[in-house]
Amino acid sequence: NAGVMQNPRHLVRRRGQEARLRCSPMKGHSHVYWYRQLPEEGLKFMVYLQKENIIDESGMPKERFSAEFPKEGPSILRIQQVVRGDSAAYFCASSPQSDRGSNYGYTFGSGTRLTVV
């Protein structure tokens, strides 16, 4: 039973390019959460998606960032026109269709480390 799969593990982009980060949830999970982590800091919530729906994007920057979770395929976090400040580790987590609320631990992927040069 594969865990949460993220790819690529490392991504290097030049300023102004686009970055596409992929997250495949655990089998049977239909909720996906994206977090960003800057060096030496804890994770910061970005967005919560269910299949074909954005539930909460309150942590997403207003411009250049978008996320989707299509009916088929992985969830995608897309960053357009990347800047140096976007360099960070991006993690996703997933949970089952019937989220058990706070009495439940999330499974995280290994992350994508984005470096903007």
Contacting positions for other proteins (CB under 8 A):
4, 6, 31, 33, 35, 40-45, 48, 56, 59, 91, 95, 99, 101-103, 105-111, 113
Which CB, 35 or 65, lies closer to other proteins?
Answer: 35
Of 4 and 19, the one with the shorter C-beta distance to other proteins is 4
User: Which residues neighbour 61 within 8 Å (Cβ) at sequence distance 6 or greater?
Assistant: none
Q: CA-CA distance, 112 to 20, in Å (whole number)?
A: 10
85 vs 101, which CB is nearer to other proteins?
Answer: 101
- Give me the least distance between CB of 16 and other proteins, in Å please: 27
Shortest Å distance, C-beta 3 to other proteins: 9
The CB-of-26 to other proteins minimum distance in angstroms stands at 12
Q: Whose Cβ is closer to other proteins: residue 14's or residue 100's?
A: 100
Dist. CA 69–CA 76, nearest whole Å: 6
The Cβ-side half-sphere exposure at 94, using a 13 Å CA radius, reads: 24
CB of 85 to other proteins, least distance (A): 19
Distance in angstroms (rounded) separating the CA atoms of residues 97 and 117: 39
What spatial distance separates the first Cα and last Cα of the chain, rounded to whole Å?
36
